[in-house]
Amino acid sequence: RYASEILKKFEMNKCNVALSPGEPRSQLTKCTEEEDVDPTFYRKLIGSLRYLCNTRPDLAYNVGIVSRFMERPKSSHLIAVKRILRYVKSTINYAPISWCSKKEPVVALSSCEAEYIATSLSTCQAIWLKNLIEEISQDKCETDTLKIDNVSAINLAKNPIAHGRSKHIELRFHYLREQVNKGNLALIHCRSEEQVADLLTKAVTVQVFEKLRSEMGIETVDNMN
């Protein structure tokens, strides 16, 4: 509903649709030669899209890029924002099944620890969703699988011998190791070309974007019925 209101508010409800929120090879800069855009109008657009990002993580990267130019927006920046709105129209009924983003008040001493802690938090969400599905369907679900791009973090979760290297990590984060040992969770290595997080960090082609969006769990509401 909010997405529809944004499109109507900025007179984009009858626009042509786009299959992705941004051009994969476009480079926005603070060009002084282009025509200026009303900064107040531009900021209203950005503010509305940033709020929409709370339920549409697939917009996060592109909205973050266009947010850099709110001081003196140019015509190319407005075109990029309208591209996002055109994508919103094409995916008006899309939403994530479940997602969250938060900054943990924890200092990791290595990339391995950072991945281990992040995986532990993801484990809590995965187990909760598994229990919810089993309760609703009354069927036993298969073992949950988490893809991780850090081999050291996988070894730390699977190998009890590595316990000595993780004694300083808060006890609550070892919930991951407990679930792996119980067989409730399987950890597999994720190759770089299969990294779903690329959707949040870079502009990719339409084919790659749609593939990663699907793997992230962002589906049209009609498909969930």
Residue with token string 């598994």: 130
Q: Which among 151, 218, 140 is positioned nearest to 183, based on CA atoms?
A: 140
* Domain boundary, last residue among 38, 65, 92: 92
Question: What confidence score (pLDDT) does residue 173 get?
Answer: 65
Inside any domain, residue 168: yes
* Domain boundary, last residue among 32, 58, 92: 92
Tell me: do 71 and 117 sit in the same domain.
no
Inside any domain, residue 102: no
For residue 87, how many other CB atoms are within 10 A of its CB? Answer: 21
Inside any domain, residue 105: no
Inside any domain, residue 206: no
Question: What confidence score (pLDDT) does residue 25 get?
Answer: 76
Tell me: do 130 and 179 sit in the same domain.
yes
Tell me: do 125 and 83 sit in the same domain.
no
Tell me: do 127 and 48 sit in the same domain.
no
Specify whether the CB–CB gap between 198 and 60 falls below 8 A: no
Question: What confidence score (pLDDT) does residue 163 get?
Answer: 56
Tell me: do 38 and 117 sit in the same domain.
no
Tell me: do 67 and 145 sit in the same domain.
no
Tell me: do 75 and 120 sit in the same domain.
no
Range of the domain at 12: 2-92
Question: What confidence score (pLDDT) does residue 96 get?
Answer: 62
Q: Which residue ranges in the chain fall short of pLDDT 50?
A: 224
Tell me: do 15 and 76 sit in the same domain.
yes
Rounded to 5°, the CA angle 100-183-106 comes to: 40
Residue with token string 């994508």: 87
Question: What confidence score (pLDDT) does residue 105 get?
Answer: 63
Inside any domain, residue 22: yes
Positive or negative, the Cα torsion across 100, 104, 107, 113?
negative
Tokens found for residue 220: 């049209």
Question: What confidence score (pLDDT) does residue 40 get?
Answer: 92
End-to-end CA distance of the chain: 18
Question: What confidence score (pLDDT) does residue 101 get?
Answer: 62
According to DSSP, the β-strands at 144-148 and 218-220 are unpaired
Number of domains, the chain: 2
Tell me: do 18 and 57 sit in the same domain.
yes
Residue-wise pLDDT for 25-55, tens only, equals: 778 888 778 888 888 999 999 999 998 888 7
Inside any domain, residue 81: yes
Tell me: do 11 and 84 sit in the same domain.
yes
Inside any domain, residue 10: yes
Inside any domain, residue 104: no
Tell me: do 140 and 69 sit in the same domain.
no
What backbone phi and psi angles, to 5 degrees, belong to 28? -85, 135
Tell me: do 50 and 120 sit in the same domain.
no
Q: What is the pTM of this model?
A: 0.59
